[in-house]
Structure 1
């Protein structure tokens, strides 16, 4: 190919890529009217807090959801493993860097039994992992992982540095998984999902810019489960990710084991706030009979109820791209129908 033709083809490719990115961004409602970012912006919506109420979910807010930035509030997620192979055992290595001190953070406040919670999710929200890494004395962390599907992933570090009085920080970094990527569509919103013989029913609505209660009831073989076991200091652990950009909401339950008022099932209650209208994927981890299981739900913030479909033209939904090889270039966030459990 002649030089002039190569340049023309390259320019056309760039134009197509930017056009796709613009279309994807336009499909999502904004978190808030843009402001100049500060280190106090970008923190997670933690336990339904941290986001002022906004009219119909599109008003101004002081903070962005968590996980959208690799650096914020003076801390940086330094991911030392930016690429792994699909279906192959690997080790994720990373550190949380204190930019002011120019060194790794080595002292963390324990939250729900752990110094740091590590979540890995594919851009298409098919694969989800809640990992428990180990920290070395020099502040480097490591966690074994095996991811079954190729594509773009996001790694989330959820932590609170020791001595920090405010709520925790959630940082996010991109992870490429090489192989043959075959994304599908986001599953429909359903009130009940089935996992390993369990039925989990979701009741409630996720609302933009306002607290709302989400109740999840666990049954097995048609009978309510009343002996859920504590997992990470609670009877349930819920993470919400927004389809498209994977904005992260880490929501803690209402009540905890041993507080004298919280029962061990069948219902687990959470309070959450969505940063905007749009589609979200909820991942509930619960422990029963000595094993942790994950139930995943699709919800649409801004709908009157959890089970309602997304408004027409409001979710950025569309046909999936054709399958093809993935070689380390992050793909757009498409929706899929399957979930892989840890």
Structure 2
């Protein structure tokens, strides 16, 4: 069976093993060749494979980020997890420590103390928010979920004094007329607000992989991208099926047209890729989904 990966704009089941290659498939047209693999970004440890900190069982150490509401003594507590679709809401939450006290001090990561992702289970939309922190440890972010359904709230942060960051996830329930959206097929190239973004490179579960996303407009390469969150591009990957979270940043320093990323997929399956980039003072988002053949043979994951 063909194990090539197909690229779509926006589930596939998970394979229990981690050694299966997840290749970005051959789409109509030719995408840019992937650069030589570079070292993995070290700013977000714990998103791919965890490390034993003494407070969690070893069996949970390898889980991707965002699957647990509590991890390593920290808990994500959403104040009002029930909202109405289409209505503005002030999303409020706290990070609690092992004693149930709100955390009030954080390390800055990529220009922010906390990154917040809100996405529905069908991955049809994506919000990357930067909430504000009150003195009592309550975070708040004005938002509105566009449609009814079950959403995942993902908080990516590093407490003050911690040696590594973590990502916690909690459910958000939006009342209304529920109409889940399937993943539509495209190729390696998508458009975002008049820009064309092309994805090159392959993902390999359990192994460092390099991706290049190339930005152009009106047929010409964009070579003057502006920094966003301290880099020329920001990539978030969510695994379809459970919304496991992988947060990576570029390993290139030039302002376009290509933005290179090094990342590791925790397993085979489908991944929704969201690229945020800034040009002419506005942040745009380009979205892809990479899907592998669920019936391909897999190798045992080795720790």
Q: Is the 8 A contact 1:202 1:217 kept in 2?
A: yes
Match of 1:217 among 210, 214, 217: 214
- Any residues of structure 2 matched to 1:254-293 within 5 Å, and which? 254-255=251-252, 262-293=253-284
Return the alpha-carbon distance in structure 1 between the equivalents of residues 160 and 47 of structure 2: 20
* Secondary structure at 1:103 match in 2: coil
Return the alpha-carbon distance in structure 2 between the equivalents of residues 146 and 312 of structure 1: 35
**Counterpart in 2 of 1:202?**
199
**Counterpart in 2 of 1:153?**
151
Match of 2:124 among 104, 123, 126: 126
Structure 1 residues 178 and 31, CA gap change in structure 2 (3 angstroms): farther
Return the alpha-carbon distance in structure 2 between the equivalents of residues 269 and 61 of structure 1: 30
Q: CA deviation at 1:28?
A: 1.8
**Counterpart in 1 of 2:39?**
none
Match of 2:232 among 231, 235, 246: 235
Q: CA RMSD in A?
A: 2.4
Return the alpha-carbon distance in structure 2 between the equivalents of residues 46 and 204 of structure 1: 21
* Secondary structure at 2:141 match in 1: strand
Match of 1:311 among 259, 281, 293: 293
* Secondary structure at 2:176 match in 1: strand
Q: Which consecutive unaligned segments of at least 5 residues does structure 2 have?
A: 1-10, 19-41, 51-58, 297-303
- Any residues of structure 2 matched to 1:42-57 within 5 Å, and which? 46=44, 50-51=48-49
Structure 1 residues 128 and 30, CA gap change in structure 2 (3 angstroms): same
- Any residues of structure 2 matched to 1:1-342 within 5 Å, and which? 27-30=13-16, 46=44, 50-51=48-49, 62-99=61-98, 101-165=99-163, 167-188=164-185, 190-255=187-252, 262-300=253-291, 310-311=292-293
Q: Which consecutive unaligned segments of at least 5 residues does structure 1 have?
A: 1-23, 33-43, 53-59, 256-261, 301-309, 315-342
**Deviations 1:81-106 (Å, cap 9, x if unpaired)?**
2011111111100000011x431101
* Secondary structure at 1:141 match in 2: strand
Structure 1 residues 48 and 221, CA gap change in structure 2 (3 angstroms): farther
Structure 1 residues 273 and 76, CA gap change in structure 2 (3 angstroms): same
Q: Is the 8 A contact 2:47 2:65 kept in 1?
A: no
Return the alpha-carbon distance in structure 1 between the equivalents of residues 242 and 194 of structure 2: 32
Q: CA deviation at 1:48?
A: 9.7
Q: Is the 8 A contact 1:45 1:66 kept in 2?
A: no
Q: Is the 8 A contact 1:51 1:61 kept in 2?
A: no
Return the alpha-carbon distance in structure 2 between the equivalents of residues 48 and 72 of structure 1: 11
Q: Is the 8 A contact 1:47 1:250 kept in 2?
A: no
Task: Flag as ranges the 4+ runs of structure 1 deviating above 4 A.
Answer: 47-50
Q: Is the 8 A contact 1:47 1:272 kept in 2?
A: no
Q: Is the 8 A contact 1:193 1:199 kept in 2?
A: yes
Return the alpha-carbon distance in structure 1 between the equivalents of residues 269 and 294 of structure 2: 11
Return the alpha-carbon distance in structure 2 between the equivalents of residues 118 and 82 of structure 1: 15
Return the alpha-carbon distance in structure 2 between the equivalents of residues 62 and 72 of structure 1: 10
* Secondary structure at 2:277 match in 1: strand
**Deviations 1:206-240 (Å, cap 9, x if unpaired)?**
11100000100000001000010000001001000
Structure 1 residues 204 and 45, CA gap change in structure 2 (3 angstroms): farther
The structure with the largest helix share of the pair is 1
Structure 1 residues 78 and 31, CA gap change in structure 2 (3 angstroms): farther
Normalised by the size of structure 2, how large is the TM-score?
Answer: 0.79
Return the alpha-carbon distance in structure 1 between the equivalents of residues 257 and 60 of structure 2: 35
Q: Is the 8 A contact 1:45 1:249 kept in 2?
A: no
Higher RCO (CA 8 Å, separation ≥ 6 residues): 2
